[in-house]
Chain A
Amino acid sequence: MSQTKPTMERWNVHQRLQHLLLFLSVTGLVLTGFPIKYHALPWAHTVTGWVGGFRSLFGIHLTCAVLLFVASGYHLIYLLVEGLRRRVSWTMVPGWKDVRDAWHHALHLVGLRPEPPCFDRYTYLEKFEYLAVVWGMVFMGGSGLMLWFPVQAANLLPSWGLEAVRVIHSNEAFIAMLALAFGHFFAVHFHPSVFPNNEVWLTGRISLARLAEEHPAELDRLIARGKVSTADVAEALRHEEPHRPLMLWLELALYGGVFVWLLATFVPMLFA
């Protein structure tokens, strides 16, 4: 009966390109960096073999690092140009609403508040992720550059500096991987309402139904400005999301297992 699901643009072509560059470079960095971090484990040797040896492994790592710097530069220039045209969006900047939303969301998740928080264009979790990328870029990019040029870096650092830089690079790498594979992948791939893929990063478009569920405050504003018709929203909300109990149980087992493993691994390390 209905043609296509009503959608609207969420990310423009620059934002999608920036995400694509970030995705490609970070994926390459993780795939070629973790075999070095875990060099004593058999799979590290397998992965090194796939790319044809250590020389290519490390060459890809450095190439992806340059690509990541390009992605960061692109983003900064984009922000600057948008700022000069007075079109820059401040929707990513955290505020008190995000603190209130986080508390509200926690209460909602444990069942103490029935209605979910009224999220705007970016939720507190998405803002946290964005800031985590900025933080990660400073720490991974900075420590990576210092390890790339250790003699020059040593002249700027105390005698324990390079050792500290290596600890930072290796552990922040784990944090970045965790934030992506655990938090981000759930949000954009394994969350039951987006499984198997949130297509914003490819098409730039979000369905009105998802907008209504995940960003109701933004949708309200769009309706008020006449950019979205209430009829379209009503139509979109008639499509109900399929219920997949088996998938939910499988995900619960998988994420529960990973959660327990992470605690069992890193809590003892805290007291080591």
Chain B
Amino acid sequence: MTQVLVVAASVLFGLLASPGRVLAEGPAAMVTPSDQRPSTAVSVPLPENKVCLDCHSEPNQVMTKGEIQVSLYVSPEDYNSSSHRVISCVACHEEVLEQTEEQHKSLAGTILTGHALRLQMSERCGKCHAGAVLETYRQSFHWAELELGGRKTAACADCHPAHAVLPADSPRSSVAPANLPATCGQQGCHPGATPAFTAGLVHSSPTRQGPWSPVRIIWKAFIVLILFDTLKDGPIILFELVRRLRRRSSIPSLTAMEVGSHVSD
């Protein structure tokens, strides 16, 4: 009976269903390398980045904003051996294109720092890293906290340092399996992180997994429970309300019957 109701309801309402989709605890799959790495033909360091690195390779270079000091140092060795060596600095630091040299050097107070910077840069990563890798991050607790203003959480670059980013299969990568416990355990995020902890997939979500994966089956089981509750409470409430409306409207005819019976007496 329930199955018949479910099927009937799905036919009736399936077409109207899109507004609720955002509710899905959802979807995204195990990320494949092609999702993660924007393809590029070039593989040598981009010459134009030398202009930036000429100044920013100075280890003691800092910017003072309010009461905090922010390091402006980028290691040229790390950057020029990272996966990002082929892209321009201003591809990510796009506001620099709109600054005059004077403004850039005076730092005009426009450069974001702290939480605002991490949020902004994490959104910019999506310019190239679209698809499953972005979608799964957007469903993670890490992003939920960052988006809602939390600070003690992982922005993209906290796990994938943008100036030294390397693919997971490179032994020096922060996300190489052997380095994950240290990466997850940094800055007191997940102290004592073990290989068992880091074996779990962060960029993953139930709808992207195979139909018989445990996580997907558990997700579906809970959708069934939600529908069970809906189909249990909904009809009880609606029939109860209808019954009360009908009972009241039938009172006059009952009275008439009573009167009739008295008359015939």
Report which A residues bind B (CB closer than 8 A): 35-41, 44-45, 48, 53-55, 57-58, 105, 109-111, 125, 147, 150-151, 154-155, 157-164, 166-168, 170-172, 174-175, 178-179, 182-183, 186, 191-192, 243, 245, 248-249, 251-252, 255-256, 258-272
**What A residues does B20 contact at CB under 8 A?**
261, 264-266, 269
Given contacts A125-B236, A183-B232, contact A265 B194 (CB under 8 A): no
Name the residue in A151, A175, A263 with the highest tally of chain B Cβ atoms < 10 Å from its Cβ.
A263
Point out the residue from A36, A178, A243 that lies within 8 Å of B148, measured CB to CB.
A36
A260 to B17, CA, bound (A): 10
Q: Give the nearest-CB partner of A170 in chain B.
A: B25
Say whether B244 contacts A154, CB under 8 Å: no
* Bound-state Cα–Cα, A166 to B22, Å: 17
Docked complex Cα distance between A192 and B244 (Å): 8
Q: List 14 A-B contacts (CB under 8 A).
A: A40-B147, A155-B197, A167-B206, A172-B225, A182-B237, A183-B236, A186-B237, A251-B241, A252-B238, A252-B245, A263-B9, A264-B20, A269-B20, A272-B27
> Any chain A CB within 8 A of the CB of B150?
yes
Chain B residue with minimal CB distance to A37? B25
A182 to B228, CA, bound (A): 13
Interface residues of B in 84-133 (CB under 8 A from A): none
Bound-complex Cα distance A234 to B20 (A)? 50
B7-31 interface code vs A (CB 8 A; 1 in, 0 out): 0011001101101111111010000
Contact B199 A178 (CB under 8 A): no
Contact B245 A249 (CB under 8 A): yes
B63 at the interface (CB under 8 A from A): no
Shortest beta-carbon distance from B31 to chain A in Å: 13
Q: Which residues in A have their C-beta under 8 angstroms from that of B212? A: none
Residues B201 and A163 in contact, CB atoms below 8 Å apart = yes
Residues of A near B229 (CB, < 8 A) are 175, 178-179, 182-183
- How does the 8 Å CB contact mask read for B200-231 relative to A, with 1 for contact and 0 for none? 11001111000001110011101111110110
Alpha-carbon gap, A136 to B230, bound state (A): 16
Does B44 lie at the interface of the complex (its beta carbon under 8 Å from any beta carbon of A)? no
Query: Least Cβ distance of B197 to chain A in Å?
Result: 4
B172 on the A face (CB < 8 A): no
Does B58 sit at the interface, judged by CB under 8 A?
no
B201:A151 contact, CB within 8 angstroms: no
Contacts of A243 in B (CB 8 A): 248
Q: Nearest chain-B residue to A256 (Cβ)?
A: B238
Q: Closest B-chain residue to A264, C-beta based?
A: B13
Q: How far is the CB of A265 from chain B (nearest CB, A)?
A: 3
Give the segment of B45-53, B137-145, B253-261 that binds chain A: B137-145
Q: How far is the CA of A172 from the CA of B241 in the complex (A)?
A: 28
Q: Is B234 an interface residue (CB 8 A)?
A: yes
Residue among B143, B192, B232 with max Cβ neighbours from chain A (10 Å):
B232
Q: Does B67 contact A (CB under 8 A)?
A: no
Closest to A156 in B: B196
Please tell me which one of the listed residues A37, A55, A154 contacts residue B150 in the complex, with CB atoms under 8 A apart.
Answer: A55
Residues of A within 8 A of B17 (CB): 264-265, 267-268
Beta-carbon contact of B22 and A41 below 8 Å: yes
Inter-chain contacts of B240 with A (CB < 8 A): 109, 191
Asked if A159 and B200 make an inter-chain contact with CB atoms under 8 angstroms apart, the answer reads yes
Residue ID in chain B nearest A147 by CB atoms: B141
Q: How far is the CA of A258 from the CA of B234 in the complex (A)?
A: 9
User: Which of chain B's residues have a CB closer than 8 A to the CB of A248?
Assistant: 241, 244-245
Indicate whether B65 reaches chain A with its CB closer than 8 angstroms.
no
Measured between beta carbons, the chain B residues less than 8 angstroms from A269 are 20-21, 23-24, 223
Find A263's partner among B24, B27, B200, B230 (CB 8 Å cutoff): B230
Q: How far apart sit A154 and B207, CA to CA, in the bound complex (Å)? A: 22
Question: Is B148 a contact partner of A39 (Cβ separation < 8 A)?
Answer: yes
Q: Which of B151, B214, B226 contacts A160 (CB 8 A)?
A: B214
Cβ–Cβ < 8 Å partners of B244 in chain A: 192, 248
Question: Is the beta-carbon distance between B138 and A40 smaller than 8 angstroms?
Answer: yes
Task: For B6, list chain A residues within 8 Å (CB).
Answer: 267, 270
B162 located at the interface, meaning its Cβ lies under 8 Å from any Cβ of chain A in the complex? no
- Decide yes or no: A267 and B233 within 8 Å by CB, A151-B192, A167-B25, A171-B226 being known contacts: no
- Which listed residue (B16, B194, B223, B242) contacts A270, Cβ 8 A? B223
The docked-state distance in angstroms from the alpha carbon of A159 to that of B223 is 23
What residues on A are CB-neighbors of B206 within 8 Å? Answer: 163, 167
- Tell me, in angstroms, the Cα distance from A174 to B226 when the chains sit together: 8
Q: Judge whether A39 and B192 touch: CB under 8 Å.
A: no
